[in-house]
Structure 1
């Protein structure tokens, strides 16, 4: 068990990539806190993850609300692993983008992630160990129509990865990011419909990813397998950014 005795917080952990990451972490022995906005979905997710050998519990939090971010940091307590996965990703072209949704994306994807990390990092730094994994996207480095604001928020996470690695790694805390390509989750299908499958057909592997495939990349960066890796961005995108 690669994560035995490790405490992990996964934001956006009740569905999609976050839930599959939680499933993998529990299987590897971690005590996992999954954070999300919907308590009903959280309870369902915890029930799914009850098999062990690790454990899971739910913490309700809206990362767009700084008071919720503060409460989540207190509830989670000191963690060994932080997976910044929660994000909003509504689709809109630039000329159709409304200000309210623009603000919600930055509040959740960027501001919430930043201040949650700022709250949890001191305990990691004091311990001299820890791993932070930011979930970005291939759209942070390539143009995807309809994803202008979403991709900008995820480019910010990639920037955080580099800066936090420079700030935290001298104290033993590694910071990396995973940049998934088109991934078939329920949330993505709701927002993008058939567009995600079409996007998958355009990349070298000619398909979309399953969320469990992205979870494997997150486990790699969170675990001792990547003990000499920090400040890196792992492109789990089926070759999309290679062409």
Structure 2
């Protein structure tokens, strides 16, 4: 049984982009801590498979499919989901390319999913949190909220914006006993990063640049997610916790 300040029993949580990768791991983490979890993605079949896998472990989870970048779909999804205590804005995409040649469509798609999406989803649920006088919002930012590499311009812009959106949400909503914080992962071995993980030159660079000398894993975010979702963080607001194996600590 978790310590009372870290116990999520009776809490309802929505995690966007949770049919795979980081989101799926976060869903498993919160469900294991006692939360009723609603997973989300655009593919109902993938979500159904995750629901079945979690049910086999006696974890309480259900699915709601919608595109976080589609305003009408988000509003409809929020009505289907109902009131929640915890929101994790995790859904995101990456379309790499040099800025000088980047099609506007690739720029816009990343901003729509990674920055506008969290705004739309948070806006759809925050009124209920304000009415109840409590809530937790966790935005999954990135090491790219602080750094950039060639071909990551759209992604870095979106994640830098999400870090500032976290602070803006805090400025407006903390007065209602809502805690809004961000988790900024470093380089994690996820499906989104598979091309980089499988590139020996890049993978060696990540390990040499990271003091921990390894790629991160989605489960490395579990402790931070529980902390930000639980009563333990009731006076923590507007913070971005970087979990990167020490990469930002060194030159």
* Residue number in structure 2 paired with 1:229: 236
Shift in Å, 1:27: 0.7
The answer to whether 1:47 aligns with 2:52 is: yes
Which residue does the alignment assign to 2:116? 111
Report the TM-score when normalising by structure 1.
0.94
Cα contact 1:176–1:233 (8 A) shared by 2 = yes
For 1:201-212, what aligned pairs fall within 5 Å after superposition?
201-212=208-219
Query: Whole-Å Cα distance in 1 between the matches of residues 82 and 203 of structure 2?
Result: 37
- Match of residue 194 from structure 2: 189
Task: Say yes or no: does 1:16 pair with 2:21.
Answer: yes
Give the drift of 1:167.
1.0
CA distance in 1, matches of 2:159, 2:48: 28
SS at match of 2:94: coil
> Which shifted more, 79-88 or 138-147?
138-147
Change in Cα spacing, 1:189 to 1:7, as seen in structure 2 (3 Å) is same
2:92 to 87, 94, 99: 87
**Secondary structure at the residue paired with 1:145?**
coil
Tell me the CA shift for residue 227 of structure 1. 2.1
- Indicate the residue corresponding to 1:219 in structure 2: 226
CA-CA distance at 1:209 after TM superposition: 0.7
1:142-153 aligned at under 5 Å gives the runs 142-153=147-158
Give 1:168-179 correspondences, 5 Å limit.
Answer: 168-179=173-184
1-structure distance, mates of 2:193, 2:159 = 15
RMSD: 1.6
Structure 2: gaps (5+ residues): none
CA contact (8 A) 2:39 2:64 kept: yes
- Describe the SS at the equivalent of 1:90: coil
- Aligned counterpart, 1:239: 246
| Alignment partners' CA distance in 2, 1:197 and 1:67 | 43
Measure the CA separation in 1 of the matches of 2:231 and 2:203: 33
2:171 aligned residue: 166
1:102 paired to 2:96:
no
Q: Normalising by the residue count of structure 2, what TM-score does the alignment of the two structures yield? A: 0.92
Q: Secondary structure at the match of 2:34?
A: coil
Shift of 1:99: 1.0
Shift of 1:60: 0.9
Residue 162 of structure 2, aligned match among 157, 160, 171: 157
Secondary structure, counterpart of 1:49 in structure 2: helix
> Residue by residue, what CA displacement relative to the aligned partner does 1:84-137 show, whole Å, maximum 9, x if unpaired?
000011221222321111111111111121011111001101111110000000
Q: What residue number does 1:74 align with?
A: 79
Residues 16-66 of structure 1, C-alpha deviations (whole Å, 9 max, x = no match): 110000001111111111110111111111112114654111111112222
What is the distance in 1 between the residues matched to 2:57 and 2:235? 28
The higher radius of gyration belongs to: 2
Question: How many residues get paired?
Answer: 243
Q: Is the 8 A contact 2:196 2:203 kept in 1?
A: no
